[in-house]
């Protein structure tokens, strides 16, 4: 029986910091307004870490909830994969800190960096580990403290980002949510469209790099907007065809929560009603690789996912990277 089972999501969890930063709060910090932010992004508020919380803290809390949901213990974990662009440190990996905090002494641990598409990349790796038989139980996390790399003097970027974490357990199962496929893509020729220039080998930390504010997110919004819509739309259609489906067969699309206007334009281009897209960006902003697992958890809690539904996950981010996954719920 087990050889016929496929990699599936058997547990889901998410965690959001308690501190809420509203658009009205941002009005006091930069030249912006609640109306301006909502009209351009759909965001009303976002969550921000406080009291020394770091990425591995958020990741650990989301992981504990996913493990409880799946009925697995720390000892059951074979591998921990964390997608993040805001690691606790450049090294060791955030996954290693999560392993220590969970007490998952048997588990291997490493991070993936594919920006906002990172959770899809991590799902793909976890699925491959499980389907190959190399591992039985993989913890996949998307966790971000984007407030730590957001320039709160730049009104074009500081209104967008928030903090949070989501996690899933991947195991073989015939009763749970089978991962039917994952598709990944990248275009390194567009790397400078969305980037944090400072801190790496090219621009090591220095007085100059700090003064030039290179350790914050930099992006060219109009270019990102167009590239995101075109690439997400193409990826969704390719993924549907790959699975022998029609676009109408997809019951719910859970997109990366980057910008409500991007989601609306993508759904219009696909000829689908907005009711078929799950949206929570108004509450949490753009949480990069954490946005999809947070949205999966919330969609389930809101009753948006029913047994047998075909669910499409899709994300686009810096790199440029993008990816999709189809899950039979």
Q: Do 237 and 316 fall into the same domain? A: yes
pLDDT tens sequence across 135-148 = 999 999 999 999 99
The answer to whether residues 294 and 313 touch, using CB atoms and an 8 Å cutoff, is: no
The answer to whether residues 165 and 51 touch, using CB atoms and an 8 Å cutoff, is: no
- So what's the pLDDT on residue 1? 41
Active site residue 218: no
Q: Do 199 and 163 fall into the same domain? A: no
pLDDT tens sequence across 159-173 = 999 999 999 999 999
From the list 23, 145, 177, 256, the catalytic residue is 256
From the list 116, 158, 177, 259, the catalytic residue is 116
Of the three residues 119, 146, 175, the one that is the final residue of a domain is 175
* Spatial distance between the Cα atoms of 57 and 64, rounded to a whole number of angstroms: 11
pLDDT tens sequence across 170-186 = 999 988 899 999 999 99
**pLDDT beyond 70 at 202:** yes
Of the three residues 160, 175, 190, the one that is the final residue of a domain is 175
pLDDT tens sequence across 46-71 = 999 999 999 999 999 999 999 999 99
* Spatial distance between the Cα atoms of 318 and 194, rounded to a whole number of angstroms: 5
pLDDT tens sequence across 90-142 = 999 999 999 999 999 999 999 999 999 999 999 999 999 999 999 999 999 99
From the list 23, 231, 259, 286, the catalytic residue is 286
Active site residue 145: no
Q: Do 102 and 126 fall into the same domain? A: yes
Q: Do 264 and 301 fall into the same domain? A: yes
Question: 118 CB contacts (<8 Å, ≥6 apart)?
Answer: 83, 84, 85, 112, 142, 288, 289, 315, 317, 321
Q: Both ends of the chain: CA-CA distance in Å?
A: 20
Q: Do 29 and 133 fall into the same domain? A: yes
pLDDT tens sequence across 2-30 = 567 999 999 999 999 999 999 999 999 99
- So what's the pLDDT on residue 221? 87
Of the three residues 175, 196, 226, the one that is the final residue of a domain is 175
* Spatial distance between the Cα atoms of 164 and 142, rounded to a whole number of angstroms: 8
Q: Do 29 and 147 fall into the same domain? A: yes
The answer to whether residues 140 and 119 touch, using CB atoms and an 8 Å cutoff, is: yes
**Range of 168's domain?**
2-175
- So what's the pLDDT on residue 3? 61
- Measured from the Cβ of residue 90, the count of other Cβ atoms closer than 10 Å reads 8
The predicted model scores a pTM of 0.97
* Spatial distance between the Cα atoms of 1 and 201, rounded to a whole number of angstroms: 50
* Spatial distance between the Cα atoms of 40 and 254, rounded to a whole number of angstroms: 20
Q: Do 52 and 88 fall into the same domain? A: yes
What CATH number does the domain containing 118 carry? 3.40.47.10
- So what's the pLDDT on residue 2? 53
Q: Do 220 and 320 fall into the same domain? A: yes
- Output the CA–CA distances (angstroms, integers) from residue 71 to 18, 74, 137, 306, 324, in the order listed: 26, 10, 11, 21, 27
Burial class (CB in 10 A: 0-12, 13-18, 19+), 87: buried
Number of domains the chain contains: 2
Q: Do 20 and 97 fall into the same domain? A: yes
Q: Do 170 and 28 fall into the same domain? A: yes
Active site residue 96: no
pLDDT tens sequence across 242-292 = 999 999 999 999 999 999 999 999 999 999 999 999 999 999 999 999 999
Q: Do 224 and 295 fall into the same domain? A: yes
Burial class (CB in 10 A: 0-12, 13-18, 19+), 115: buried
Q: Do 31 and 72 fall into the same domain? A: yes
The answer to whether residues 170 and 10 touch, using CB atoms and an 8 Å cutoff, is: yes
């Amino acid at each position: 029986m087990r050889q016929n089972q496929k990699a599936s999501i058997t547990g889901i969890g998410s965690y959001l910091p308690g501190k809420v930063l509203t658009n009205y709060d941002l009005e006091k910090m930069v030249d912006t307004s609640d109306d301006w932010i909502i009209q351009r992004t759909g965001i009303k508020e976002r969550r921000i870490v406080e009291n020394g919380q770091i990425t591995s803290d958020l990741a650990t809390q989301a992981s504990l909830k996913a493990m409880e949901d799946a009925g697995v213990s720390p000892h059951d974990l074979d591998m921990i994969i964390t997608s993040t662009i805001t690691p606790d440190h450049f090294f060791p990996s955030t996954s290693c800190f999560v392993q220590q905090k969970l007490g998952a002494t048997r588990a291997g641990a490493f991070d993936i960096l594919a920006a906002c598409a990172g959770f899809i990349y991590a799902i793909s790796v976890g699925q491959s580990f499980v389907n190959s038989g190399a591992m039985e139980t993989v913890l996949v996390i998307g966790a971000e403290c984007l407030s730590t790399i957001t320039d709160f003097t730049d009104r074009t970027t500081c209104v967008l980002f928030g903090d949070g974490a989501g996690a899933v357990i991947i195991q073989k199962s015939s009763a749970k949510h089978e991962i039917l496929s994952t598709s990944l893509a990248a275009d390194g020729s567009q790397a400078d469209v969305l980037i944090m220039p400072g801190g790496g080998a090219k621009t090591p930390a220095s007085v100059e790099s700090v003064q030039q504010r290179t350790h914050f997110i930099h992006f060219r919004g109009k270019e990102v907007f167009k590239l995101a819509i075109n690439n997400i739309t193409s990826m969704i259609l390719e993924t549907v065809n790959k699975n022998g489906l029609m676009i109408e067969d997809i019951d719910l699309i859970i997109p990366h929560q980057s910008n409500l206007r991007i989601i609306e334009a993508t759904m219009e281009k696909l000829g689908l009603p907005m009711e078929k897209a799950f949206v929570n960006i108004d509450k949490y902003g753009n949480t990069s690789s954490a946005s999809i697992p947070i949205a999966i958890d919330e969609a389930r809690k809101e009753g948006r996912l029913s047994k047998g539904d075909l669910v499409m996950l899709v994300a686009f981010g810096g790199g440029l990277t993008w990816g999709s996954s189809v899950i039979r719920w």
